[in-house]
Structure 1
Amino acid sequence: MVEKGKMVKVSYDGYVDGKLFDTTDEEKAKKEGIYNENMVYGPVAIFVGAGQILPGLDEVLEEMGVGEEREVTLPPEKAFGQRRPDLLKIVPMSEFKKRGIKPIVGLPITIDGVTGRIVSVNSGRVLVDFNHPLAGKEVKYRIKIEEVVEDPVQIVKEIVKLSLPRIEPEVKIEGESVIIELPEFAPYIPDIQVKKMVIANEIIKRLGYKEVKFIETFKKKEEDNKDNGEE
C-alpha cells in the first residue's frame, strides 16, 4: 500500500458511455481523436489522499501498491458530481457584449472564475450551464501507480510542473530553504506571480521547508559577443 500523503506518478484512461474522454497516453489520445496540443502527456504526479484527483480515484489509490493497475467504475458523487439545477443560470446579453463575445450554443464561457457552456440564446438572455460536462455521469477508469516519488528535489520539480507543466526548473535544497531557478522567459508566463505563490505554498505545506526562493537568471548570449566584435 502507498502511504497517504506520498507523491506518486499515475497513468490513467477515463471512459464515459464506452468512449475515452481523458488519458495520460499521447498516442491513445491521438488515436481516439481527443488529443489536446496544449496538454502535456505522461504520468501525472499527485499526493495520495490530497484531493488532487477525483474522490473515487483518491480512495482507490490508498488501497494500491506501486506497479499495481486497477479498473474502477465511479458513480457521479465520486466522480464529477450530480447535476445541479441551480447551476443553470440566465446571463444577460449585456454581459457578453461587455466581453466582446457573441454567444453561440455550445460555446464555453468563464464568468467570475467559473466555466460553463451556453445552452440557449433567446430574447436577449443567454442560458448557461455551469455544471461540469460529465456531472451526473458514471465513469470508468483504468489507473496505475507507476512509481512513488521519494527524492525531495524531484518532488519539488513535480510540484513546479503542476502549475508550470512545460518548465524544467533547476532545484537546490539548502537546509530549510528550497531554491528554484526558472528559465529566462518565466516572467512572461501569464499569472506567473500567482503560480509561484501556489508552488511555494504547496512545497511548504507538503515538505515542511521554511522558505522557497525563486531565481530568474538572464545569461549573455553568444550573439551578443559577436555584436560586440568578440570572436
Structure 2
Amino acid sequence: MTTIAEGNKVRVHYRGTLEDGTEFDSSYERGEPIEVEVGSGQVIPGFNNALLGMKVGESRTVSVPPEQAYGPVLEEALTEINRNLFPEDLQLLEGMPVPLTTDQGHKLLGRIQSLTEEV
C-alpha cells in the first residue's frame, strides 16, 4: 500500500479542535474532504507533517504546537470588536473561538479574551 509523500494530492477529512476540546473547523461539517497537495503550503505545517507517511483509509490524531499551526498569541494583535458585529442571538462567552475574515478575505480564528458592558 502506498504511503503519502510530498507532492501527492490527497483528499482528507479532518476535525480541528483546541486544547479544551472546542471544535474550530471540520471538513465533516461541510460534508466533504479537502483536497491538498502535500508539501505545497496549502495547510499548516503540523497538518502537512501529519499526512506524511499515512496510508489510504488510515486515521490519525495529532497535537499541533502553535509554532507549526497559526503561531503563538500576539498581544499586539488583540483588538476590540463591537457586539453588533455578531448575530444578536449568539451568546458570547470568554474563551469562545470566533471565526473572523480580514478585509482581504483571509479567514482567521479569534478568541474572546474578555467581555465588557458598554455604558
Shorter-chain TM-score bucket reads 0.5 to 0.7
Structure 1 residues without counterparts, runs of 5 or longer: 27-39, 91-102, 117-130, 135-231
Superposed CA RMSD in Å reads 2.8
Partner of 1:86: 76
Report the CA distance shift for 1:84/1:62 in structure 2 as closer, same or farther (over 3 A): same
Deviations 1:41-96 (A, max 9, x none): 21111101111112101011112122111001111111221112332368xxxxxx
Q: Is the 8 A contact 2:45 2:69 kept in 1?
A: yes
Distance 2:37 2:60 in 1: 18
What TM-score, normalized by structure 2, do the two folds share? 0.63
Letter in 1 for 2:16: G
Distance 2:23 2:102 in 1: 25
Identity %: 34
Letter in 2 for 1:133: G
- Of Structure 1 and Structure 2, the greater strand share is in 1
Deviations 1:154-173 (A, max 9, x none): xxxxxxxxxxxxxxxxxxxx
Distance 1:46 1:85 in 2: 32
1:104 aligns with 2:107: no
Q: Is the 8 A contact 2:15 2:26 kept in 1?
A: yes
What TM-score, normalized by structure 1, do the two folds share? 0.35
Partner SS, residue 71 of structure 1: coil
Q: Is the 8 A contact 2:44 2:70 kept in 1?
A: yes
Distance 1:87 1:10 in 2: 31
**Shift of the alpha carbon at 1:114?**
6.7
Structure 2 residues without counterparts, runs of 5 or longer: 86-99, 112-119
Q: Which has the larger radius of gyration?
A: 1
Report the CA distance shift for 1:65/1:22 in structure 2 as closer, same or farther (over 3 A): same
> What are the equivalent positions in structure 2 for 1:65-76 lying under 5 Å apart?
65-76=55-66
Partner SS, residue 56 of structure 1: helix
Report the CA distance shift for 1:109/1:4 in structure 2 as closer, same or farther (over 3 A): closer
